[in-house]
Homo-oligomer: A and B are copies of this chain.
Amino acid sequence: MIEQSGRRERKKAATRQKIADTALRLFLERGYDAVGIRDVAAEADVAVTTVFAHFASKEALVFERDQDFEQHLTRAVTDRPPHEPLIPALHREVQALVRHCTAEGSAPVRRMIEGSPALREYEESMSLRHAQALAAALTADPHLSRSATVCRATARFVIDAYALACRADDPGATVDEVFRMIKAAWEATAP
């Protein structure tokens, strides 16, 4: 139970990756709704129960890197140099995340997500979790000294900026425009 030495972990990670890769490939080939979990399992040559041992739901197969996103965001807050102002740090990080999700290769995936109500709904609820994690990071920052409400609201605003930019015609400009609003909102709460 303490610190496995390799092979098991590697095999598990390999299985997980194989499932995720197979799923994404099938989804893009035939459409999300046209591919069943049983199809994914068969093609990846694992049992259906194994799929659910690695992913909590069918939608989760599409958002495999979800955890990374949350970490990047919270670390933009927690790992920034001391006394560096908060909003520019978040602004930069959101720009980077948006660039990542509107990159060349991501277009088909985005189209698939927008085309499926189930995936859109799942993405929304993911965003809510990210907002909560970010709110926690803001609340914990000793330099900020804002109320919990302000931290929660700011976190949601930042996630809104990301969500809007991902779907906008000019993602970069959208992030900038929304962050001008966030900056004003934040500064209006100065203690």
Contacts and interface: CB of A to CB of B under 8 A. Distances in A.
A1 interface: no
A121 interface: yes
Contact of A153 (B149, B152, B181): B181
One complex includes copies of this chain to the number of: 2
Interface of A: 120-122, 124-125, 128, 147, 149-150, 152-154, 156-157, 160-161, 163-164, 168, 173-174, 177-178, 180-189
Given A153-B164, A164-B153, A181 B188 contact: yes
28 contacts: A120-B128, A121-B122, A121-B124, A121-B125, A124-B124, A124-B128, A125-B125, A147-B177, A149-B173, A149-B174, A149-B177, A150-B181, A153-B157, A153-B177, A153-B181, A154-B181, A156-B157, A156-B160, A156-B164, A157-B160, A157-B181, A180-B189, A181-B186, A181-B189, A183-B188, A184-B184, A184-B185, A184-B188
Nearest to A154: B181
Contacts of A156: 156-157, 160, 163-164
Given A184-B184, A185-B184, A153 B125 contact: no
A182 B157 CA distance: 10
Given A184-B184, A184-B187, 5 more contacts: A149-B164, A149-B173, A150-B177, A150-B181, A177-B189
